[in-house]
Chain A
Amino acid sequence: DVKVTQSSRYLVKRTGEKVFLECVQDMDHENMFWYRQDPGLGLRLIYFSYDVKMKEKGDIPEGYSVSREKKERFSLILESASTNQTSMYLCASSFTGAAYYNEQFFGPGTRLTVL
């Protein structure tokens, strides 16, 4: 079974703190993704990576950065957390290529609260 794990289920941080959200997958997937989920807005893509050290901005990258030093690990970084970054963060991974049927596998999510 594909396993995508996230470092924390719940996280509380203070405004201005640097926050790291970690995601690890065990299926040798090339692609990894970070989304945030807010009520009424669905899932919005923050960043994704299609290979080690490669990244692309998603729809809402402002205020975030990412790091992918190893294939199995994709980190989301909030350089200076703000209250409007309070949200549910979901990590996902998938195989690469133009195969449209390659679904994304999701982790359990991290609910981040910034006070």
Chain B
Amino acid sequence: AQKITQTQPGMFVQEKEAVTLDCTYDTSDQSYGLFWYKQPSSGEMIFLIYQGSYDEQNATEGRYSLNFQKARKSANLVISASQLGDSAMYFCAMRERRTGTASKLTFGTGTRLQVTL
């Protein structure tokens, strides 16, 4: 079974609107971390935001926020006031204790976001 599921292969959003990119995860661990990365057409992966499983507050970084619903095992990325430069692939990833070393990440298949005028 997939550990990270991103069900939206592609999304469109108008400039200045907010958009939510979905991510659900599967783990039996109590301690884990969730990450979102952005990959522009240049190819480099850019870290956006992190949420720890014990964090009580939803993480925020500028225009990015993470809507963390632990009971539902979802960690959706919300981008407010979309800009043309937000057009990119977005990946959700998880780090679990069970992967043998705490450093390994498991990635979802990604969502391609296109921001339109």
Q: Which positions in A face B, CB cutoff 8 Å?
A: 9, 31, 33, 35, 40-45, 48, 50, 56, 58, 88, 90, 92, 94, 96-109, 111
Partner of A48, one of B47, B50, B104: B104
Q: Closest approach, in angstroms, between the C-beta of A65 and any C-beta of chain B?
A: 19
**Total A-B residue contacts, Cβ distance less than 8 Å:** 72
Q: Which positions in B face A, CB cutoff 8 Å?
A: 4, 6, 9, 31-33, 35, 37, 42-47, 50, 52-53, 91, 93, 95, 97, 100-110
Contact B52 A42, beta carbon cutoff 8 Å: no
Q: Which residue of A lies closest to B59 (CB)?
A: A101
- Roughly how many angstroms separate A99 CA and B91 CA in the complex, as a whole number? 20
CB-CB < 8 A to B50: which residues of A? 101, 103
Contact B108 A45, beta carbon cutoff 8 Å: no
